[in-house]
Amino acid sequence: MKKVFEAAGSILDGKIAEAKYIHPYMFKQAEFVGEDYNGNKYYEIKKGVLYGRHRWFVPPDIFEYSPASVPPEWHGWLHNINNDAPSRVKFLEQSYKTPATTYKYLGYQPKGSYRQKMEFGRKRNWKKYEAWTPPAPAKA
């Protein structure tokens, strides 16, 4: 029963149908290149297909997939930015491991906000003046 639904889903979703059925079976040359940590499978045909349609991926779940699940290194291969797939060459340490900045206090704060850092690294406070602090005593 599941297979029927899957086949129906694939046919309704033309992109998946093309990736899953047309490419592998119409063109026997289709080559399995690799799989990323999200379970996406990547394929390539080197001849006999329009340039631009020669690399594709098949998600693990055809009912819930997202192009955003393609990691940057696979994205580079998929869109012909890189010649080599990450499964064939070793990529450097991922450069995108930065903390998210769009939530909590790290995000943008408008000018005048209490959390906005003022110039000279001074935060806004309720003091109306800064008192002088005497210098440290000279060591005798």
Partner 1 sequence: MTTAGMRVWSLAQNLTANLVGNETAWLVGGQKTTTRTVTTTMTRLFSSSAVADADKTEEEMPEHMMSTIVNGKEIWVPKGSSVMQACDAAGVDVPRFCYHPKLSVAGNCRMCLVDLENHMGMSPKPVASCAMPLAPGTTIHTDTDRVKKAREGVMEFLLLNHPLDCPICDQGGECDLQDQAMHYGSDRGRFVGTKRSVVDKNLGPLVKTVMTRCIHCTRCVRYATEVAGVQDLGVTGRGGASEIGTYVEKLMESEMSGNVIDLCPVGALTSKPYAFTARQWELKPTESIDVSDALGCNIRVDTRGTEVLRILPRNNEGVNEDWISDKARFQYDGLQRQRLNVPMVKENGALKPAKWEEALFAIKEAVGGLKGDEMKAIAGKLVDCESLVALKDLMNRLGCENLSVESVTAGMEADVRSSYVFNSSISGIDEADCIVLVGSNPRVEAPVLNARIRKANYEAVQVGVVGAPVDLTFQTHHLGDSVAALKDLAKGKGSAFAETFKKAKRPLVIVGPGVLQREDRDVLLSEIHNFVDKAGVVTDEWNGFNVLHDAAARVGALDVGFVPSLGEKPSDKPAKFVYLLGADDFDAKEIPEGAFVVYQGHHGDAGANVADVILPGAAFTEKSGLYVNSEGRVQMARRAVSTLAESRDDWKIVRAVSEVLGATLPYDTIQGVRERLVEIAPHFGKVDSAPEKPVWLNGQYFGAHAQKVKGKKALDKVPLQTPITNFYMTDVISRASRAMAKATQARQAASTAKQ
Task: Tell me the closest approach of the beta carbon of residue 114 to partner 1, in angstroms.
Answer: 15
The residue (of 96 and 129) whose beta carbon lies closer to partner 1 is 129
The residue (of 50 and 138) whose beta carbon lies closer to partner 1 is 138
Residues that bind partner 1 (CB under 8 A): 111-112, 119-120, 128-138, 140
C-alpha pair distances (Å), 91 with each of 33, 41, 82, 98: 16, 18, 11, 18
Task: Tell me the closest approach of the beta carbon of residue 135 to partner 1, in angstroms.
Answer: 6
Task: Tell me the closest approach of the beta carbon of residue 105 to partner 1, in angstroms.
Answer: 22
The residue (of 3 and 128) whose beta carbon lies closer to partner 1 is 128
For 90-123, letters b (16+ CB in 10 Å) and e give eeeeeeeeeeeeeeeeeeeeeeeeeeeeeeeeee
